[in-house]
Amino acid sequence: MSSSETATTAESTTTGHDGAVRLEDVVHRYGRGGETVTAVGPVDLTVPAGEFLVLVGASGCGKSTLLRLIAGFERPTHGAVRVTGAQPRPGGAAGVVFQTPRLFPWRTVGGNVDLALRYAGVDHARWPEHRARLLARVGLEGTEKRRTWEISGGQQQRVAIARALAAEHPLLLLDEPFAALDALTRERLQEDVRRVATQTGRTTVFVTHSAEEAVFLGSRIVVLTKGPGTVALDLPIDLPRGDVDAEELRASREFAALRARVAHAVKTAAAA
């Protein structure tokens, strides 16, 4: 996969829609009347275009809720959410990847990607070219005709990522996408997502509870307190991006120091 791939015609459609995210005094509650749960907030957070933000925190602190607010699946109870300056609506602002791949089992791998291209409004004649490029981007060349039940869980999640990339949304949201995968597959997918994000320049918000995953992926990490989550730590990660040897990076002293720092912050925030 060469970096020249990033400059495709399709991706230039994102010009002027930078995917920057802005959360202003955001609080979200579920339920109504006396039966409400405050899930998250108050949170103030700005994610500049092109940043890879990782949200880390204990289970139940409101990570998925924040992502759903940014995706436009929920409207905040209080405060404002803006993506590229506008109120987000489902399917409008972001590609979303969930913990489980949510593929259509009766369709082939290629058929699943095609469906995303149709939703994205891509001209039918250009589907083969887009499909091949998207599958190559997630390391699935030559799998178009496979059935989704014939491929591994890791490959299924790669298809889900290809689908999320199909619409050329400038923003990519991922909610613990690798949590159900084995360690080796998880590391390989982390490397792919890191590379794809660097190559495409997409603004990315990635949710995890793993300090290791956060430090490997993020250009910035935000640790949330236990629920209702608020920002406990906001840490820029200045590890090298672009053309790096993943194994070397993971083995580096800087990596270990950051991982320890984030792990400690997560533990402290969860106990507070």
Does 64 help bind ligand ADP (rule: CB under 6 A)? Answer: yes
The sign of the torsion formed by the CA atoms of 243, 245, 246, 250 equals negative
How many residues sit in the footprint of ligand ADP (CB under 6 A)?
Answer: 13
Does 3 help bind ligand ADP (rule: CB under 6 A)? Answer: no
Q: Which residue is nearest to Mg ion (CB)?
A: 64
DSSP the chain: --GGGGG-TGGGGGTT----EEEEEEEEEES-TT--EEEEEEEEEEE-TT-EEEEE--TTSSHHHHHHHHHTSS--SEEEEEETTB---TTTSEEEE-SS----TTSBHHHHHHHHHHHTT--GGGHHHHHHHHHHHTT-TT-TTSBGGGS-HHHHHHHHHHHHHHT--SEEEEESTTTTS-HHHHHHHHHHHHHHHHHH--EEEEEES-HHHHHHH-SEEEEEPSSSB-EEEEEE-----SS--HHHHHHSHHHHHHHHHHHHHHHHHHH-
Does 65 help bind ligand ADP (rule: CB under 6 A)? Answer: yes
Which one of 8-16, 60-68, 92-100, 253-261 is the stretch in contact with ligand ADP (CB under 6 A)?
Answer: 60-68
Pick from 61, 81, 96, 160: which binds ligand ADP (CB under 6 A)?
A: 61
Q: How far is the CB of 172 from ligand ADP (least distance, A)?
A: 18
Does 266 help bind ligand ADP (rule: CB under 6 A)? Answer: no
First to last CA, the chain: 45
Does 54 help bind ligand ADP (rule: CB under 6 A)? Answer: no
Does 62 help bind ligand ADP (rule: CB under 6 A)? Answer: yes
Partner interacting with residue 62 (select from Mg ion, ligand ADP, none; CB below 5-8 Å by kind): ligand ADP
Q: How far is the CB of 137 from ligand ADP (least distance, A)?
A: 27
Contact between 1 and 137 under an 8 Å Cβ cutoff? The reply is: yes
Which one of 1-9, 59-67, 187-195, 232-240 is the stretch in contact with ligand ADP (CB under 6 A)?
Answer: 59-67
Does 227 help bind ligand ADP (rule: CB under 6 A)? Answer: yes
Does 186 help bind ligand ADP (rule: CB under 6 A)? Answer: no
Q: Which of 175, 196, 194, 197 is nearest to 247 (CA)?
A: 194
- Which of residues 47 and 134 has its CB atom nearest to ligand ADP in the complex? 47
Does 153 help bind ligand ADP (rule: CB under 6 A)? Answer: no
Q: Considering only residues 4-33, where is the footprint of ligand ADP by CB under 6 A?
A: 30-31
Partner interacting with residue 39 (select from ligand ADP, Mg ion, none; CB below 5-8 Å by kind): ligand ADP
Does 36 help bind ligand ADP (rule: CB under 6 A)? Answer: no
Which residues of this protein are in contact with ligand ADP, per CB under 6 A? 30-31, 37, 39, 57, 59-65, 227
